[in-house]
Amino acid sequence: MFTDEERDAVYKTIFTRRDVRSFLPDPISEEIVQKLLNAAHHAPSVGFMQPWNFIVVSSPKVKEKLAWAADKERRALAIHYEGEKENKFLSLKVEGLKEAPITICVTCDPTRGGSHVLGRNSIPETDVLSTACAIQNMWLAACSEGLAMGWVSFYKKNDIRDILEIPPYIDPIALMSIGYTDQYPEKPLLESSNWRKRESLTELIFQDKWGSQ
């Protein structure tokens, strides 16, 4: 059972969590890093397959290479946008990969647990979904510790495999930059920049069948 204060803290963390792109160079203690990884490791996983691994990157040289891979892909994707949206897309920072004291590459092993994993037999992508749960656990834990986190979501996976020497069958799901910040936004960055508006929850809820409200 949770007290009212504990329950409120859970919701506060959920609604406060942001995708941050600007970090201070202040170091993060090894104790806190391990707490974040332990929170991620306690995420639910379909068939209890626990498909994740965590590559903790602190080397400036390696972070520079990761930033190069993200910036290359960012520029390639920009051709899909025009005018103001293009400028906003190009202004998204990848410097956070270099600024943050650490970046964690979260990977997914589609072979873990063998050929017959409960749940994954029916829906193969549940290994990736389970890894996403680990990422969210880590993100919420970071928020509760006063840390900022940014999910870099544009890169070629083979570039990341080459840089971090990841085997070809392992899927590098996310690059998560973590650090302290003095620029923690009240709203998600893409919402405050009018990239998109938040969808109305009532319009997303159906009853008994698709489209029935």
* pLDDT level of residue 87 (50, 70, 90 thresholds): low
Buried b / exposed e over 31-63, threshold 16 CB at 10 Å, is eebebbbebbeebebbbebbbbbbbebeeeebb
CA angle 151, 155, 161 (to 5 degrees): 100
Q: pLDDT at residue 75 above 80?
A: yes
Average pLDDT along the chain: 92
- Asked: is 18-204 a CATH 3.40.1350.10 domain? The reply is no
- Note the pLDDT of residue 119: 83
* pLDDT tens-place string over residues 114-147: 888 888 888 889 999 999 999 999 999 999 999 9
* pLDDT tens-place string over residues 41-55: 999 999 999 999 999
- Note the pLDDT of residue 89: 61
Percent of the chain with pLDDT over 70: 95
- Note the pLDDT of residue 136: 98
Q: Are 119 and 47 in contact (CB under 8 A)?
A: yes
* pLDDT tens-place string over residues 152-165: 988 999 999 999 99
Q: Are 118 and 46 in contact (CB under 8 A)?
A: yes
Inter-axis angle of helices 157-164 and 60-77, nearest 10: 170
Domain boundary assignment for the chain: 18-204
- Note the pLDDT of residue 202: 94
Q: Is 147 helix (H, G, I), strand (E, B) or coil?
A: coil
CA angle 199, 203, 206 (to 5 degrees): 135
Distances (CA, A) of 20 to 8, 28, 125, 139, 145: 23, 16, 27, 11, 15
Q: pLDDT at residue 93 above 70?
A: no
Q: How many CB atoms lie under 10 A from the CB of residue 157?
A: 14
* pLDDT level of residue 63 (50, 70, 90 thresholds): very high
